[in-house]
Amino acid sequence: MKSSIYSLTFDQMQEWLVEHGQKKFRAKQVWDWLYKKRVNTFAEMYNLNKDCQLVLEENFDLGTLEQEIKQESKDGTIKFLFKMTDGNLIETVLMKFSYGYSVCVTTQVGCNIGCSFCASGLLTKNRDLSSGEIVEQIMNVQKHLDAKGEEERVSHIVVMGIGEPFDNYDNTMDFLRIVNDQEGLSIGARHITVSTSGLAKRMYDFADENLQVNLALSLHAPNNELRTRIMKINKAFPLEKLMPAIDYYLEKTNRRITFEYILLKDVNDHKKEAEQLVSLLKDKRHLSYVNLIPYNPVDEHNQYDRSEKKAILDFYQILLENGINCGVRVEHGTDIDAACGQLRSKQIKKDKHKV
Ligand code: SAH
Ligand code: SF4
């Protein structure tokens, strides 16, 4: 079976070409066609010799994702639902900000972490995405922008779609290197953020990667009792394992870390939790940013509600008064199920009804 050509890093492309009797310098040309000119067929790569075109065509696919649905929100957010070659569905979201276009990518089909508030965790993991399938999400969105003819570029990426990126670690790292490579899309590492539910072991590896990519940690609770209740991963990696991993990351990279905190009404949004969060982060506040996220209700998790506006503001105020950098996330595309996994789980339910 052919694999996606977008799975290869630049070095891997060079090696592959040499192994298949081609000149190393062809890699630069191929990548130029793929990522700068963004062609859809090998035949268009006219400065490659026929032999090189053929061997690529025999071995690679130039796109394996099929667009199923595209939903556009009033605020300009666009959600894409793609079908992969094996029929699995994934979601990708394009958001427009004042600083540019940002894309949220999926790394797994479903998620095994199973956080109790999340639509993606409703369906256990079916499989990991290949690096190419993650890169292709960006390529598809970029080609959507190209079609508008306004020379707009995807400038930012958040790895916050369906799945736990650190549970698909190697493919996620290849993805980051491919989209960051100057020979390709050249998306700045500082413009990319990877979000993890806190697989502490992998956070040490990530710190050692020597990448300038940002890290976000889904914390959501400031104590073990509460965190275990809403995120069962906290049993395997409780705060006493997580915080040293964070300290290691901060020391090694000297990069700021973002703590994501979904505010769930009457669950984790009291004054008490805000104060506990301050204590937890105070020794690293110079390198911390807390992103308070209004909860996006998921039909199947009706035990949770979004916090009241006043509770959100009070929580924010306590952090701020105690010198913790923080902000409340501006929402995008709530009218189109833009919280990760929502469109996919609805589509799967619809498909089931059809059968
Ligand atoms: N698995 C990774 C990345 C994907 S989830 C992680 O958990 O970090 C990306 C972010 O979306 C996480 O912070 C997650 O907690 C948040 N999220 C999930 N479901 C949500 C919902 N219904 N409303 C708001 N945020 C949600
Ligand atoms: Fe998986 Fe992240 Fe959803 Fe938790 S919040 S179930 S880790 S995708």
Please, which pLDDT band fits residue 315 given cuts at 50, 70 and 90? very high
118 is in an annotated binding site: yes
Please, which pLDDT band fits residue 124 given cuts at 50, 70 and 90? confident
Give residue 296's pLDDT. 86
73 is in an annotated binding site: no
The most confident of 118-127, 295-304, 319-328, 344-353, by mean pLDDT: 319-328
Rounded distance from Cα 340 to ligand 1 centre (Å)? 7
Using the predicted structure, report yes or no on whether residue 340 has a pLDDT greater than 70. no
How many angstroms separate the CA atoms of 140 and 117, rounded?
Answer: 29
Give residue 342's pLDDT. 55
CATH topology of domain 3-61: DNA polymerase; domain 1 (1.10.150)
* Strand pairing class (214-218; 154-159): unpaired
Give residue 114's pLDDT. 87
Give residue 138's pLDDT. 98
Return the ligand 1 atom nearest residue 196 CA. Answer: 8
220 is in an annotated binding site: yes
Give residue 228's pLDDT. 97
Ligand 1 pocket member 160 (CB < 6 A): yes
Give residue 355's pLDDT. 35
Tell me the two tokens of residue 180: 């960051």
Using the predicted structure, report yes or no on whether residue 9 has a pLDDT greater than 80. yes
Give residue 251's pLDDT. 96
Using the predicted structure, report yes or no on whether residue 10 has a pLDDT greater than 90. yes
Please, which pLDDT band fits residue 348 given cuts at 50, 70 and 90? low
Every domain of the chain and the residues it spans:
3-61, 65-354
Using the predicted structure, report yes or no on whether residue 52 has a pLDDT greater than 70. yes
Please, which pLDDT band fits residue 128 given cuts at 50, 70 and 90? very high
CA angle 258, 261, 252 (to 5 degrees): 25
Instruction: Indicate the residue type of 25.
Output: F
Return the ligand 2 atom nearest residue 111 CA. Answer: 1
Please, which pLDDT band fits residue 121 given cuts at 50, 70 and 90? low
The set of residues, in sequence order, having a beta carbon less than 8 Å from that of 259 and lying 6+ positions away, is 216, 217, 219, 281, 288, 289, 290, 291
For ligand 1, atom 11, name the residue with the nearest CA: 160
Using the predicted structure, report yes or no on whether residue 332 has a pLDDT greater than 80. no
pLDDT (tens digit, 9 = 90+) per residue, 218-249? 999 999 999 999 999 999 999 999 999 999 99
For ligand 1, atom 7, name the residue with the nearest CA: 197
Ligand 1 pocket member 164 (CB < 6 A): yes
Least trusted range by pLDDT, from 9-18, 68-77, 342-351: 342-351
Asked whether this chain's domains 3-61 and 65-354 adopt the same fold, the reply is no
pLDDT (tens digit, 9 = 90+) per residue, 160-182? 999 999 999 999 999 999 999 99
Rounded distance from Cα 30 to ligand 1 centre (Å)? 36
Ligand 1 pocket member 292 (CB < 6 A): no
Ligand 1 pocket member 105 (CB < 6 A): no
The rounded Cα 29 to chain-centroid distance in angstroms is 29
Ligand 2 neighbours (beta carbon < 6 A): 111, 113-115, 118, 120-121, 163-164, 197, 218, 340
Annotated catalytic residues are 91, 340
Using the predicted structure, report yes or no on whether residue 102 has a pLDDT greater than 70. yes
Spatial contact of 136 and 67, defined as CB atoms under 8 Å apart: no
How many angstroms separate the CA atoms of 165 and 107, rounded?
Answer: 6
Cα–Cα distances in angstroms (integers) from residue 233 to residues 115, 131, 230, 261, in the given order: 8, 24, 9, 15
Return the ligand 1 atom nearest residue 294 CA. Answer: 24
For ligand 2, atom 4, name the residue with the nearest CA: 115
For ligand 1, atom 21, name the residue with the nearest CA: 296
Give residue 122's pLDDT. 72
180 is in an annotated binding site: no
Burial class (CB in 10 A: 0-12, 13-18, 19+), 235: exposed
Rounded distance from Cα 104 to ligand 1 centre (Å)? 11
Q: Which CATH code fits 65-354?
A: 3.20.20.70
How many angstroms separate the CA atoms of 33 and 46, rounded?
Answer: 9
Higher-pLDDT residue of 17, 298: 17
Please, which pLDDT band fits residue 341 given cuts at 50, 70 and 90? low
Give residue 208's pLDDT. 97
Share of the chain above pLDDT 90, in %: 83
Using the predicted structure, report yes or no on whether residue 192 has a pLDDT greater than 60. yes
Give residue 354's pLDDT. 43
Ligand 2 pocket test, candidate residues 104, 105, 159, 164, most atoms within 8 A of CB: 164
Please, which pLDDT band fits residue 337 given cuts at 50, 70 and 90? low
